[in-house]
Amino acid sequence: MEPYISVKNVSHVYPGGVTAIKDINLDIHEGEIVAILGSNGSGKTTLVKHFNGLLKPTTGEVKIGDLNTRKERISKLSSHVGYVFQNPNHQTFLPSVRQELAYGCKNLKMSEEETDTRVQRAIELFQLHDRLDDNPFDLNSSQRKEVAMASIMAVSPKVIVLDEPTTGQDHKGCKRVLELVKMFKEEGHIVVLITHDMHLIGELNCRTVVMNQSEKIADDHASVVFSDKNIMAEAGLQPPQITHFANEISHFDPNRTYLTVESILEWMEANQEEDVKVGTRS
């Protein structure tokens, strides 16, 4: 199958001469959720900024569907790739949530009805019925973040990029992000996540790309990446606590990586008959 996002041998050098990403190859297909992991300054953000043309590759090529990002305008690419910035304050400026949602469609000069249907869809997806006339600045930070996401979704891009969606969110907010990501996938969107939240990736159990010092060092299923101690150490990452726990306890299947508490409970139920003696692996 043709990938929807295709990144071929892309390097990016910033005007100051700093190489932010080096020779990256990455294909993302329809229906995928891709998490991009790595320490600060490893090039995650630089990589995803190539998806909607905010940055153009210094060498190599990025294709979104049939569009070559080098030749297209950011405004056009943005109707295919929605990018939700980390801080919603950088984009919110209209006096009501409704206007905020319609803003992207207006920029694309869509008709009144088209805008209405798209905004209505975003309202349904995010359950924003009660907040439509509120001023975004009166909302709390997780609600504002949700409005920011909804305003990007209103354009209904094929791909949605979330830049650290759970940073600074309370537990409820994080759970909401998890729900939303799953819902985006069900609605047929490709989701690209930049995050440090290992718990979130564990719950999503999705494809994981690990960046370290401008290079891609791993690209596999979360369970495979999280069990590879070398890669985790190289990128300075810690797997979710429950994975760590399962790795240290001898009774769990050493060939499997447990990403969530539920998966451990499942295993325990399946092995109930046995007299489980729990000891640490030496």
Partner 1 sequence: MNSLYMPKDSLIHSLDPRTKMIFVIFVVISSFILNDPALQLLLLVALFPLVLLAKVVKPYLVSIQFLLLFAVLIMTVHGIYNPIGVTPVFEIFGGLTFKYESMVYASVMSFRILVIGTAAVLFVMTTHPSDMASALVKWKVPHSFAFILLSTFQIIPIIAREAKIVMEAQQARCLDVKGSIIQRVKNLVPMFAPLFIITFMKVHQLSYVLECRAFSRKGTKTSLRETRIGSLDYSFLIGMLAILAFEIYVKLFAMGSLHLTTDALLTYSLIGTWIVFGFMIVKFLYKQLQGKIGGAN
Of the residues 21, 32, 97, 104, which one makes contact with partner 1 according to CB under 8 A: 104
- In SS3 terms, the chain reads as CCCCEEEEEEEEECCCCCEEEEEEEEEECCCCEEEEECCCCCCHHHHHHCCCCCCCCCEEEEEECCEECCCCCHHHHCCCEEEECCCHHHCCCCCCHHHHHHHHHHHCCCCHHHHHHHHHHHHHHHCCHHHCCCCHHHCCHHHHHHHHHHHHHCCCCCEEEEECCCCCCCHHHHHHHHHHHHHHHHCCCEEEEECCCHHHHHHHCCEEEEEECCEEEEEEEHHHHHHCHHHHHHCCCCCCHHHHHHHHECCCCCCCCCCCHHHHHHHHHHCCCCCCCCCECC
The answer to the question of residue 167 lying near partner 1 (CB under 8 A) is: no
Nearer to partner 1, 85 or 245 (CB): 85
* Interaction pattern, residues 22-51, with partner 1; x per rule: CB under 8 A: ---------------------------x--
Q: Which region, judged by CB under 8 A, interacts with partner 1, from 4-12, 68-76, 174-182, 267-275? A: 68-76
165 belongs to the binding site for partner 1 (CB under 8 A) = no
30, 54, 158, 267: which one binds partner 1 (CB under 8 A):
54
Can residue 52 be called a binding residue for partner 1 (CB under 8 A)? yes
Q: Does 144 bind partner 1 (CB under 8 A)?
A: no
Smallest gap from Cβ 93 to partner 1, in A, equals 4
Between 120 and 137, name the residue whose CB sits nearer to partner 1: 137
